[in-house]
Structure 1
Amino acid sequence: MNNDLLNMIGNLGFPIAVSVYLLVRLEGKLEVLTQSINNLSNVINKSNAS
């Protein structure tokens, strides 16, 4: 049982670690993109209000 568990962790550990790393990086980029879209929306709204 312990060998099976260690083998499964060994086989799946690297793909899980890579997936978590990529998701964390993607989350940061999505946050920046959201802020940029909000800023653009504010500029457009100010431009239309004039």
Structure 2
Amino acid sequence: MFGDVDARKLQAAWTLFEAVATDKTPFVTGLDRYFDGERHSATLAEI
């Protein structure tokens, strides 16, 4: 993974994509693997 800022950007993007995607599998897998299943709270608050 890159630095902390890049990691948070990726977490935010995957959180958003999971919310709108028909097939959520790749985003759920990424969030589970790299972020212990934690969604980006600021992104969730905006959507």
With the length of structure 2 as denominator, give the TM-score of the two structures: 0.40
The structure with more helix, counted as a fraction of residues:
1
Q: Which has the larger radius of gyration?
A: 1
With the length of structure 1 as denominator, give the TM-score of the two structures: 0.38
